[in-house]
Amino acid sequence: MIIEASFDPVTVEMVQAIRNLMKQEGIHEVYVQPGNEGILSVDQRVRLLRLAFASYRHIHVTKGKKADRILTGYEENEKLARSGYFRLVPASVRRDLIENNLYLPQIVEAQCSPHRAIHSKGVADTCVILARAHHLDEKLAERMGYLHDVTKAMSNEEGEAVLRIWSPSDLSLNPKIWHSRTAVFWLKHNMGLYDPKVLIPIWNHTLGQGKSDYDRILYIADKIEPNRNYDTTYHLSLAKKDLRKAVDLVMKEGEEYRRKGN
């Protein structure tokens, strides 16, 4: 039997549903395949299906065949997974999604305001440019750029509730800074993203106190991404050469801006 669904991406719920179906109907051998429509390509979804069903000997993965059955009713969890709730997909699939930066635009569109989603893409693109200039991991840079403001839309009440449990000492910080802390808890809790190389720069991105190259890249990119409405050509060329000097410049300008505003 060939079972087709969008599998965009395959969720734990769907793995379970297929196993139940086999049991209930006494089917011994099943092929699963992704439909044509999806954010991810058919081949990407085939790869994820292979990971999800790797340990099930009687469930195989195929593509482009005539399906015997179309599986529906599981779209809600797929949509949530595309919004960043990677907890809803099998662990092996989750790792693949994170490593390959899949669904990042969809995550920021679902979690952030339209303005913030555009900013997040601008930051991600700038992080990639700077990582390339300094021979660092471009994928990691893109990931932290996209995700750094993931909880920016969280209300102060919700932010306070999260910090009260996870990091009470941060409650004394200005609430504008909270999102850099709540983002880390959100990413661990909902996305299953634990990589400190991504989380530490996000934690540090508002205050700019981080000392690694990735800390510096995210801090700078956040301030100079192309959607900020001032000319940052000089900042970008300086940051490509010297991250420390660029952090100092951006920090100094930020202080001047705040002083004038007060």
Residues that bind Fe ion (CB under 5 A): 149, 222
Minimum CB separation from Fe ion for residue 33, in Å? 40
- Which of residues 36 and 156 has its CB atom nearest to Fe ion in the complex? 156
Angle between the 213-224 and 196-204 helix axes, to the nearest 10 degrees? 50
Minimum CB separation from Fe ion for residue 186, in Å? 13
- Which of residues 94 and 181 has its CB atom nearest to Fe ion in the complex? 181
Minimum CB separation from Fe ion for residue 37, in Å? 32
Please answer whether residues 140 and 133 qualify as being in contact, where contact means their C-beta atoms are separated by less than 8 angstroms: no
- Which of residues 4 and 222 has its CB atom nearest to Fe ion in the complex? 222
Minimum CB separation from Fe ion for residue 182, in Å? 11
- Angle, CA of 192, 195 and 199, to the nearest 5°: 95
Minimum CB separation from Fe ion for residue 239, in Å? 16
Minimum CB separation from Fe ion for residue 223, in Å? 8
**Residue whose C-alpha is closest to residue 238's, from 227, 229, 250:** 250
- Which of residues 33 and 232 has its CB atom nearest to Fe ion in the complex? 232
